[in-house]
Structure 1
Amino acid sequence: MTDPRTGGPGSAAHPAPAPAPGATADLATVAAAVERTNELLTRVLAEVATTPSTHAIFADAGYVYAAVGRLVAGTEDRRAFDLDAEGLIEAFIDKARTIFPDSRLLRVYWYDGARRRIHTTEQQRIAELPDVKVRLGNLNANNQQKGVDSLIRTDLESLARHRAISDAALIGGDEDLVSAVEAAQGYGARVHLWGIESVGGRNQAEALLWEVDSQRTFDLDFCKPFVTRRTAYDGAGTAFAPGAPAHQAAAPSRDDVRFVGAQVAAQWLGSRGRDSLAELLPGHPYLPGSVDQELLVEAEALLGLSLRGHADLRRALRDGFWDHLRTQY
């Protein structure tokens, strides 16, 4: 502090100059801008805190068919077994719901190969499923997929870059997917590798296992309900199960099955009560695995036939179930 006896700055003889009016106005403007910025930051942070997490499932169909076929049917040849792809996809969705309980599903990406990228009948049915996007690579002369890995990388990287997903469940095993994992992680997404139990050795590249944030393997009990081995054929080349007649009664219509779905829903609601209904509605159009299995068993008992090989009729069954529940809410 300056000695007042010297008459230096700040003394009684020479008081410090008052700030100019313009300087006071500038300070007030800066203070107001800082306060406004803090307010905006507070609002952004509050919005981020309340924004739900989002996850997506990326499934390499070639890996799924080969791994599930080898595990359940003992072969990777798609011609030797039927895969209930719809049921398996729904099981994946249900599993993701339990693993990411506070997250919503963006969609399932189903990557497969096709000649000239023209959808097969089966791929068309999968593409019609809600929340499922079919992405096609090419098939070469040896029925090998080409371009699928690059499609997975493009989608994973794009969604992570735009913050469209916080978690990615990747079902595959090719080492070429490592770059896709690294790209998504570079934008802050977590990548979880899902695989099918291997009969012998590994069916996923070690380099891929090293890069992901978590790993999960689906065993025989999980996969078995979705595979039917083609063991015999009738004269027209149609597969049927051992011991079953080659020509069975015609399947019921979609309307018939939809009506049965509504019947089961009425029984379910009567035994569970409206509180259980309120818990189901946020998951529409998906049903928890236990409820979906109960619906299928009850419907098959009422119809007197199995719906395991009729993906379109199972969709009608669920539609009828939901139709009844939504009218009661």
Structure 2
Amino acid sequence: MNDAPAPGPPDLAAVAAGIEQTNELLQRVLAKVSTTPSIHAVFADAGYVYAAMGRLVAGTEDRRAFDLDAEGLIEAFIDKARTIFPDSRLLRVYWYDGARRRLHTTEQQRIAELPDVKVRLGNLNANNQQKGVDSLIRTDLETLARHRAISDAVLVGGDEDLVSAVEAAQGYGARVHLWGIEALGGRNQADPLLWEVDSQRTFDLDFCKPYVTRRPLLYEAYGEGASAAGAAAAGPRPGREDVRFVGARIAAQWLVERGRETLAELLPGHPYLPGATDQELLVEAEGLLQHSLRGHADLRRALRDGFWDHLQAQF
């Protein structure tokens, strides 16, 4: 026979105190989560970008037949992502390309010098085909998602091999958004990739046109060894201070033509300009300088510096 006393009534005060303590802890956790900024990153397969934009705008995938304003395009990607994720911060843009023995070309060096851009190189085989790029994308995407370094990933590409990268990132809670280039008369992105991602966006011909320039005369006259550097050598290269002055001059002109309120709206985006505005600045500067600034990252930065310097002095 068990003579142990029956358990007494629960201590309601202690239970209430425990519930209150738990609620306070939950409130602190939720407050911390709500104030933690979202972070996004852009993962761009340069091989896909060159091939798709070259085919759409210049009618060819051969990189030697056209120039791609990679700096301007990357700025446009950053601007578009800022619009889509207004409450998120950019981690960086990853630019994946191929190179023989993984040695940067001059163009890749210029891209690598851009702020918030990381160039990652795979190998380039004898047939100019990229090798190892998909695995680099998967590694970066999965690692950042696993460590909760990003909440949203923008993937610019179309290869079916990227499906596993998307699945891995999603498994760690990241959302993956697929961006592509318009394909005339078909698709240039694998169906399984389109099915797997969280959202899709396609850039059309009007968006792509400003960033692709076909070089028919140079390419046809001098053959496959011709380059954009040969075309640029036709005229004297302006100095950084000259370009900076032109940037300030254009800003002053725009203030008169467009009004202070319009340009004041650009200030919160410093040091970035919206893609359309950046292209207008570039085209107008090239007209004044009578020299192409495409492919000259240092001069493009000098142009923007001059533009921003004048604007910030006025506000």
User: Of 40, 50, 68, which aligns to 2:35?
Assistant: 50
Deviation (angstroms), 1:222 = 1.1
Deviation (angstroms), 1:276 = 5.0
The 1-side partners of 2:7 and 2:58 are apart by 92
Say if 2:76 and 2:274, in contact at 8 Å, map to a contact too: no
The superposition leaves residues 49-82 of structure 1 with CA deviations (integer Å, 9 ceiling, x where unpaired) of 1222221111001111111111111111111211
The 1-side partners of 2:191 and 2:176 are apart by 15
Deviation (angstroms), 1:296 = 2.5
The residue that corresponds to 1:258 in the other structure is: 244
The residue that corresponds to 2:149 in the other structure is: 164
The residue that corresponds to 2:83 in the other structure is: 98
The residue that corresponds to 2:308 in the other structure is: 322
Could you tell me the TM-score, scaled by structure 2's length? 0.86
- Kindly indicate whether residue 160 of structure 2 is the aligned counterpart of residue 175 of structure 1: yes
Counterparts in 2 of 1:227 and 1:293: CA distance versus 1, 3 Å: closer
Greater displacement, 119-128 / 223-232: 223-232
Partner-residue secondary structure (3-state), 1:232: helix
Say if 2:72 and 2:279, in contact at 8 Å, map to a contact too: no
The residue that corresponds to 1:110 in the other structure is: 95
User: Of 55, 62, 77, which aligns to 2:47?
Assistant: 62
Amino acid at match of 1:266: A
The residue that corresponds to 2:127 in the other structure is: 142
Deviation (angstroms), 1:312 = 3.0
Counterparts in 2 of 1:235 and 1:152: CA distance versus 1, 3 Å: closer
- Kindly indicate whether residue 202 of structure 2 is the aligned counterpart of residue 217 of structure 1: yes
Give the length in aligned residue pairs. Answer: 307
Say if 1:53 and 1:104, in contact at 8 Å, map to a contact too: yes
* Residue segments in structure 1 that go unaligned for 5+ positions in a row: 1-15
The superposition leaves residues 150-176 of structure 1 with CA deviations (integer Å, 9 ceiling, x where unpaired) of 111111111112222111111111111
Say if 2:72 and 2:278, in contact at 8 Å, map to a contact too: no
Partner-residue secondary structure (3-state), 1:42: helix
The 2-side partners of 1:136 and 1:162 are apart by 23
Deviation (angstroms), 1:268 = 3.5
The residue that corresponds to 1:290 in the other structure is: 276
Deviation (angstroms), 1:17 = 9.8
Counterparts in 2 of 1:197 and 1:104: CA distance versus 1, 3 Å: same
The 2-side partners of 1:136 and 1:293 are apart by 27
**Whose relative contact order is higher, 1 or 2, with alpha carbons under 8 Å and at least 6 apart?**
2
Could you tell me the TM-score, scaled by structure 1's length? 0.83
* Residue segments in structure 2 that go unaligned for 5+ positions in a row: 1-5
Deviation (angstroms), 1:259 = 1.5
The 2-side partners of 1:92 and 1:193 are apart by 12
Amino acid at match of 1:261: G
The 1-side partners of 2:140 and 2:227 are apart by 37
Counterparts in 2 of 1:222 and 1:298: CA distance versus 1, 3 Å: same
- Kindly indicate whether residue 270 of structure 2 is the aligned counterpart of residue 307 of structure 1: no
Counterparts in 2 of 1:44 and 1:154: CA distance versus 1, 3 Å: same
The residue that corresponds to 1:41 in the other structure is: 26
Partner-residue secondary structure (3-state), 2:94: strand
Partner-residue secondary structure (3-state), 2:148: coil
The 2-side partners of 1:235 and 1:269 are apart by 44
Amino acid at match of 1:155: D
Say if 1:58 and 1:171, in contact at 8 Å, map to a contact too: yes
Larger radius of gyration: 1
